[in-house]
Structure 1
Amino acid sequence: MDAHPGGASRVTEAAEHLVAELAANAATHGRLPGRDFRLALLDRRTTLRIEVTDTRGDDLPRHRPLAPDAESGRGLLLVEALADRWGVQPGPVPRNTVWAELDLPNP
């Protein structure tokens, strides 16, 4: 499997959390009635790219100030902590794609 102990399991766990968080964000904040979101996983040999495209398109995802006792709103902080890189790609209207990349361990 992986010549580097923990490398593959770290990527797998991070990918599971990233997919869950990005999909939950799209379903909660980026969904309009009659439209859905799209999830794509792209294996680029050295990088796993996770993309979630929502159907809202009118508000780009971004960090927002939170009260210390807020029960939600930390999703992008989690994405930032888990991903090696992440970002938001707007359009075409009415869509936004939030993506996160994980570097894959050498085989």
Structure 2
Amino acid sequence: MDRTAPPHLTTPRPTTSPWTFTQLLSATRRGARLARLLGAGQLRSWDAPPALTERAEVVIAELAANAALHGRVPGRCFRLTLVLDPASQVLRVEVSDARGDLHPRLATDAAGAGALTPGGRGLMLVEALADHWDCVPFPPSGKTVRAVLRATRL
């Protein structure tokens, strides 16, 4: 019988790994508000840089509000996921909802960015505060809007 330790026990592992927070929330205004509060609280508990936490709080609020308003399917929740890599100080915010048929779009009306349009300004905030954002399918029929925020902006 070989008494040497298996390689996975002797190989040094990185001391930092991404931290993850996931929560299902009701697709209501109250659920969106709770997403913002829980997300900001989680980032503070991880000791994320204050500037990152402040930007993330606005991004979470906007994406959660969109999920509750535009992604709502009766009886279905939306999901907030935060993934923070403490080594690189990069945060990924994901909000998944049940409406895969409606994809987020920035407001591009003919009246211009200063016009009082019924929607689209929330995504303009996400565009301004995130280093990158996109939308991907969330099987079986939903979507996930993802935003990446770096503690130090390039």
> TM range, normalised to the smaller chain?
0.7 to 0.9
Cα-to-partner distance string for 1:3-53 (whole Å, 9 max, x where unaligned): xxxx92221110110111110110000010010100000012321110000
> What is the aligned partner in structure 1 of residue 56 from structure 2?
15
State the distance in 1 between where 2:136 and 2:82 align. 16
Contact 2:82 2:92 (C-alpha < 8 Å) held by counterparts? yes
- TM-score if structure 2 supplies the norm length? 0.59
Does the residue aligned with 2:77 lie in a helix, a strand or coil? coil
Number of equivalences? 99
Deviation at 1:63, TM superposition (A): 1.8
- In percent, how many aligned pairs have the same letter? 52
Deviation at 1:84, TM superposition (A): 0.9
Unaligned runs of 5+ residues in structure 1 are 1-6
Do residues 82 (structure 1) and 129 (structure 2) align? yes
> What is the aligned partner in structure 2 of residue 95 from structure 1?
142
Moved more, 58-67 or 96-105: 58-67
Could you list the structure 1 runs, at least 4 aligned residues long, displaced by more than 6 angstroms after superposition: none
Does the residue aligned with 1:37 lie in a helix, a strand or coil? strand
> Larger relative contact order (C-alpha < 8 A, sep ≥ 6)?
1
> What is the aligned partner in structure 1 of residue 13 from structure 2?
none
Larger Rg over CA atoms: 2
Unaligned runs of 5+ residues in structure 2 are 1-47
Q: CA RMSD in A?
A: 1.7
Moved more, 48-57 or 86-95: 86-95
Do residues 63 (structure 1) and 110 (structure 2) align? no
Contact 2:131 2:148 (C-alpha < 8 Å) held by counterparts? yes
Deviation at 1:94, TM superposition (A): 1.2
